[in-house]
Amino acid sequence: MAVCIAVIAKENYPLYIRSIPAEQELKFHYTVHTSLDVVDEKVSAMGKALVDQRELYLGLLYPTEDYKVYGYVTNSKVKFVMVVDSSNTALRDNEIRSMFRKLHNSYTDVMCNPFYNPGDRIHSRAFDNMVTSMMVQVC
């Protein structure tokens, strides 16, 4: 179950971050923040190859005893970070990939809205609904 989903802008500030349960929000925020370093490391490692070949899905960034952190980066350097509960029956990689793909599609839809200025926080209800479905569904 995805306990926390975050969308980080290119400049490494959050565009959207949401977690359940709410009381551990701070911890998840911290986790996401620290995971950004890992993301950067992975991106730079892959970046030597041509950008076209770089894969968007970064995979498991790092595991802790309670949860695992997965990362995904878009071509415009927008990062999606997902924190998944480890206790849950291990989610397969495919599922994580599909979740990221859905996230990416929803993010693109948000981008298409002319009233959305890139760099603003994301307030789109459709995006919220999609994230909610992802956080609840696996539960």
Partner 1 sequence: MEPGAAAAVGTAGAVGAAASAGAPAAAAAAAAGASAAAVSASYCPLPLPLSDGEQQCYSELFARCCCAPATSSSFFSSSSSSSSSSSSSSSSSSSSSSSSSSAGHPQPAAELGRGASLPGPAATAGANQVGDLFRASQLPAETLHQITELCGAKRVGYFGLTQFYVALKLIAAAQSGLPVQVESIKCELPLPQFMALKNDEIRYSNPTELHGMKCQIPYVTMEKNSFKRVDDGEKQQEKMSPIMSPVSSPPSSPSSYQRVPLTYGYGKLRSGMDQMHAAPYETRQHTLQQEGSTSGSHGPKPTRRQTSLIQSLSVEREPQESNSNYPDDPWRITEEQREYYINQFKSLQPDLSSFISGSLAKNFFTKSKLTIPELSYIWELSDVDCDGALTLPEFCAAFHLIVARKNGYPLPESLPQTLQPDYLQTAFLKPKWDCALFDSYSESMPVNQQPRDLNRIESSIKEKTDLTAPAQDVNIDDKQALKISSVDEAMPKDLSVDTAAKPGLLPPPPALPPRPLMSQTEQVSEIELHPQLTRTPSQTEESGSPVKKDLPHTQPPSKPIRRKFRPENQVMENQEPSSVSGTSSVPTVPTVKPHASIQKQSSKQKKAIQTAIRKNKEANAVLARLNSELQQQLKEVHQERIALENQLEQLRPVTVL
Of 126, 132, 133, 137, the one binding partner 1 by CB under 8 A: 126
Instruction: Give whichever of 46 and 111 is closer to partner 1, judged by the CB atom.
Output: 111
Site membership for partner 1, residue 35 (CB under 8 A): no
Residues within window 65-124 making contact with partner 1, judged by CB under 8 A: 108-109, 111-116, 123-124
State the Cα–Cα distance between residues 43 and 110, nearest whole angstrom: 24
Nearest distance from C-beta of residue 27 to partner 1, angstroms:
29
Nearest distance from C-beta of residue 74 to partner 1, angstroms:
16
State the Cα–Cα distance between residues 106 and 127, nearest whole angstrom: 6
Q: Positive or negative, the Cα torsion across 53, 92, 38, 104? A: positive
Backbone angles phi, psi at 104, to 5 degrees: -65, -40
Amino acid at the residue 127: F
What residues make contact with partner 1 under the rule CB under 8 A? 108-109, 111-116, 123-126
